[in-house]
Amino acid sequence: MGFPQSPTQQQKMESFSRARLEDNGDSILGSYSSWLREHPSALCTFEGIMKKAERKEIAVFLDYDGTLSQIVDNPDQAYMTEKMRCAVREVADCFPTAIVSGRCRKKVYEFVQLNNVCYAGSHGMDISIPLASSKSQDNRHQTRALDEKGDEIVWFQPAQDFLDTVQEIMRLLKERTTRIDSAMVEDNKFCISVHYRCVDEKDVGKLKQIVESTMEAYPTYRITCGKKVMEIRPPVEWDKGRAIEFLLESLNANGHCNVLPLYIGDDDTDEDAFKVIKRTKHGFSIIVSSVPRETVASYSLRDPNEVHSFLTNLAKWKRSASSS
């Protein structure tokens, strides 16, 4: 695996300027109904999707914020409903399932609280898998540990070498943003989120300037933007796309074959995973959005409520397929 590596300056600029244009993650592109023709509803086309999955094994990958939980003002309160937890639990009983989030892995676990799913935090830079599934020979970036149940697991952390610097940047950003009311710096372990959802519009420019000027001292680090958030990432060629490739390899190593990835996500960072699915022409990519937006995903769902219905259908489909 080719990491760590720095993204090129051009990649950094492209990612940042696109993010600036789509500041809220929801750039408006024409009418929803014409967009739906390009990205049909995964609920309305459910039977067709499942037909393509016949005799194949599905692996389910789920983003957290905006997919399993609604977007809310306070990132610490983005709880998942009990109804959604039940749906994810049922899906994970039927298919290998992983949550792939920008949050730190520990925080996602606290929100999701399920032991039958895998967790990939920090945009995939912190993956936890059962020891038996571990295929990677990259001993420098993996550590053996015990999970909450006492089972042996492996943490795969390709950005481990950058942890101290990420934490140093976090301290600086926390210090320097205190004078911006309602700005929030979130520690996502291998990456940092600087939130401005609740910051007065007149201060958002100042906050962005503080972040940009702080990052001048760390020119290889990337700044990307999500939904009312700036995200700082270390110079490692790793993202949610690489994470799902890694997890699929682990599944293969564990005796699963012919695995089709099904990925559901709502944010720009999920596009990296959608691109892997598009490039390999293998699997299903579903964007969660209630407005038309640029995406390489093939299908769409409007919001977490539709995600819930889709997951419920998926588990029912598997149960009826297994019993027939």
Ligand X SMILES: O=P(O)(O)OC[C@H]1O[C@H](O[C@H]2O[C@H](CO)[C@@H](O)[C@H](O)[C@H]2O)[C@H](O)[C@@H](O)[C@@H]1O
| Residue, CB closest to ligand X | 102
In whole angstroms, the minimum distance from the beta carbon of 196 to ligand X comes to 8
90 is an interface residue for ligand X by CB under 6 A = no
Q: What Rg value do the Cα atoms of the chain yield, rounded? A: 19
In whole angstroms, the minimum distance from the beta carbon of 12 to ligand X comes to 18
Phi, psi dihedrals of residue 296, rounded to the nearest 5°? -100, 5
Q: Are 261 and 277 in contact (CB under 8 A)?
A: yes
265: nearest Cα among 288, 244, 249: 288
x/- contact string, 194-223, with ligand X (CB under 6 A)?
-x-x--------------------------
Nearer to ligand X (CB atom), residue 154 or residue 194: 194
Q: For residues 93-122, which are near ligand X according to CB under 6 A?
A: 101-103
Among 12, 59, 61, 63, binds ligand X (CB under 6 A): 63
Among 72, 132, 145, 217, binds ligand X (CB under 6 A): 72
Q: Are strands 299-301 and 118-121 parallel, antiparallel or unpaired?
A: unpaired
Strand order in the sheet with 284-288: 142-146, 152-156, 126-130, 118-121, 97-100, 57-62, 259-265, 284-288, 299-301
Which of the stretches 28-36, 59-67, 161-169, 215-223 binds ligand X when contact is defined by CB under 6 A? 59-67
- 150 phi-psi bin (left φ>0, alpha ψ -120 to 50, beta other): left
Nearer to ligand X (CB atom), residue 152 or residue 200: 200
261 is an interface residue for ligand X by CB under 6 A = no
Among 193, 224, 285, 289, binds ligand X (CB under 6 A): 193
Among 229, 301, 311, 314, binds ligand X (CB under 6 A): 229
x/- contact string, 151-190, with ligand X (CB under 6 A)?
-----------------------------------x-x--
Size of the site for ligand X (CB under 6 A): 24
Which of the stretches 36-44, 63-71, 164-172, 272-280 binds ligand X when contact is defined by CB under 6 A? 63-71
Q: How many CB atoms lie within 10 A of CB 8?
A: 9
Q: How many CB atoms lie within 10 A of CB 312?
A: 16
Nearer to ligand X (CB atom), residue 100 or residue 318: 100
Q: Are 133 and 254 in contact (CB under 8 A)?
A: yes
Among 227, 256, 275, 302, binds ligand X (CB under 6 A): 227
Q: How many CA atoms lie within 13 A of 45 on its CB side?
A: 18
Strand order in the sheet with 222-226: 184-187, 192-195, 229-233, 222-226
Which pair of structure tokens corresponds to residue 253?
A: 């190593």
Which of the stretches 51-59, 65-73, 124-132, 175-183 binds ligand X when contact is defined by CB under 6 A? 65-73
Which pair of structure tokens corresponds to residue 13?
A: 């600029």
For ligand X, the binding residues (CB under 6 A) are: 63-66, 71-73, 75, 78, 101-103, 186, 188, 193, 195, 197, 226-229, 231, 267, 269
